[in-house]
Structure 1
Amino acid sequence: MENCNYPSFKKKWSIALNSNRYRKLLYGGIGSIIVILNVFPWFFQKIEARNGTVLNDWLLQQIPAHNVSLAIFICIWTSALFFTARAIQNPQILITFLVAYVLLCLSRIISITLVPLDAPVGLITLIDPLSNAFYGVSFITKDLFFSGHLSTVFLMGLCLVNKREKNIVFMATSIIAILLLIQHIHYTIDLLAAPFITFFLWRLAKKIAQE
């Protein structure tokens, strides 16, 4: 693990915040996320009210549905807490994630709009009081292509610097993908597409953050 004593931590942030470009990206990223999170409840309620397609997912049909909400919740939010600690220590990790996460949210809005899907057969509602707070008054089942849970955790792994820590978060990502299938929350294609789209957006965010 990276050593982070207070003087180096303070110096990193002092250098970052003295950069006019960094401050613009930081404040712009935070502002954009606030706007997006306020738009999400309205957007997801609209998506939930429309009709979509039920996919014939062979792999999903082979897996009996079980409620593994607690395991999913633990994997996601343990990864998020760990990543937050690292992002606070490293301004570059934080800014890359902020830019990439804004791109990720916008991409999901576009992809979910363009690919109307109904919930998989046998879906068991995910109980996640933290994530569900951004969905509005009712549970959302049609925010499918591509998976937001999986892509966000995968993005955290991409943004980390330490190779061992990256691999741990990538392993958590794989576990989450399996658990999402077990609970029939997503189609297989939702989970397969998420890492590829996220990787592309991360590369783009890195270029924006480092210019």
Structure 2
Amino acid sequence: MTDLKTKSALTRTRLLKAASRIFAQNGYQESTIAEICEQAKANIAAVNYHFGDKQTLYLEAWRYAFSEELSRYPADGGVPRQASPEQRLAGRIRSIIRRIAAEDSYSFAIIHKEIAQPTLLLSDILEKEINPQRQEMLVLLHECLGHNANEHLLHYCHASIMGQCFHVLRLKQLQIAQPNRTLVIESQYLEDFTNHVIEFSLAGIRAIQTQMLSQRYRA
């Protein structure tokens, strides 16, 4: 019985890995159960047994990819909670970029495809899984900017940081779209770019702090 359970669990994992990779490459509509099963070395009956249908497999594949990425690259970037807000923000930026860039990471690419070809299937799961990460970033930005920062400013700063991080996603999408082509994001480039995003973002925050202080004194 144990061997059967182990075999079943391994089959489920292979399906999730193959599905996350194929959904990231093709999007939901263009991905087929047949292709996923072929790459996972499983049959369609296994998909029906473990997931029931393509929609559920799509949701579970995204959740699996997201969970695996966070386990490898924790959201805090390994920076302790007692560190300064700026250091903790740097850790979060580093984690996001590493999760996007990793060769076997697919959750951001799946979201990118979802934005281009909406299915609305991920709406609930993104609210539950992504929104807490977003809220933690907003709280951290509030710490960095100070109590005078309003909600609009926090969202602008968040969008600015994420926009920079998504540059790596565009490079990654080229890699996923052409799997037979060698297109590797070099580690030194990634490190230099990550440091740039951190420095640029912190400089922007300092400039906004100066502006808010100046406006307060003028008032």
TM bucket, shorter chain:
under 0.3
Whose radius of gyration is greater, 1 or 2?
A: 2
TM-score by length of 2: 0.26
Q: Greater relative contact order: 1 or 2 (C-alpha under 8 angstroms, separation 6 or more)?
A: 1
Q: 1 or 2, which has the higher helix percentage?
A: 2
